Amino acid sequence: MAGFNMSYLLLIVVTLAVGFGTQAYIKHTYRKWSKVPISSGLTGAQAARKMLDANGLSHVAIERVPGELTDHFNPQTNIVSLSEGVYGSTSVAATAIACHECGHAVQHARGFVPAKLRGALVPAVNIAGGAWMIVLIAGIFLSILGLIWLAIALYAATIIFQVVTLPVEFDASRRALAYVKGYGFLPATETGGARSVLTSAALTYVAAALVSVLQLIYLLGLTRR
Ligand SMILES: [Zn+2]
């Protein structure tokens, strides 16, 4: 029994370490390359506009949103939202992130299948993501094993979503790097910087999926108790 508890304690420690570690790593990489000016002299918003126009997406709008690393693309509104540190910044990190979000806009316009699949899963995942914990707590308090299994199934559905997210994110970064390289508006060192920013961002998605799998193992352990 003692060994059983120790292994779960270790699992929790590893889960927390992976989660916090990757968050710290992306912030570190982002802040480092936020201080390196880009030789093109373009702001994140200007780089985004250029990439969107080059892909025939002049109808996609760009807006500024508050917060750090809050950048995203909304396929419903066709708006690329760039955070304050990206929108007006002329850094390597700003160009990398702005072009990554444009990569999502290009995916949407071209009907990139993993992105479509991810979009289709959103409503179901929102329900599963909101319900699994309640079902789990109910299962534990009422001692109903069936409810615990239902919670695990709901939780597993959210992991499938996280796994589908990975190719979508990798592809958006690939499109961003191909664009900045192809148009030659970044010299080699800056392309390297853009790549590390995007790689660290991708790593947080991989880590999030890994953390979820570790939590799933923990939940499966509950059913044995
Ligand atoms: Zn993305």
DSSP the chain: -HHHHHHHHHHHHHHHHHHHHHHHHHHHHHHHHHSSB-TT---HHHHHHHHHHHTT-TT-EEEEESSSS--EEETTTTEEEEEHHHHT--BHHHHHHHHHHHHHHHHHHHT-HHHHHHHHHHHHHHHHHHHHHHHHHHHHHTT-HHHHHHHHHHHHHHHHHHHHHHHHHHHHHHHHHHHHHHTT-S-HHHHHHHHHHHHHHHHHHHHHHHHHHHHHHHHHHHTT-
Q: What is the pLDDT of residue 184?
A: 65
Ligand 1: distance of its center to the CA of 157 in Å? 20
Q: What is the pLDDT of residue 1?
A: 44
Can you give the pLDDT at residue 59? 97
What pLDDT sits at residue 185? 67
pLDDT for position 61: 97
User: Whole domain around residue 194: which residue ranges?
Assistant: 2-222
**Distance, CA 37 to ligand 1 centroid (Å)?**
22
Whose structure tokens read 């480092």?
32
Could you tell me the distance, in angstroms and rounded to a whole number, from the CA of residue 71 to the centre of ligand 1? Answer: 8
- Catalytic, 101? Answer yes
pLDDT of residue 2: 47
Predicted pLDDT of residue 4: 56
Residues of the chain with pLDDT under 70: 1-5, 184-185, 225
Active-site choice (63, 84, 101, 169)? 101
Distance 72 CA to ligand 1 centre (A): 7
Domain count, the chain: 1
Give residue 143's pLDDT: 86
pLDDT, residue 15, reads: 81
Instruction: Tell me the pTM.
Output: 0.87
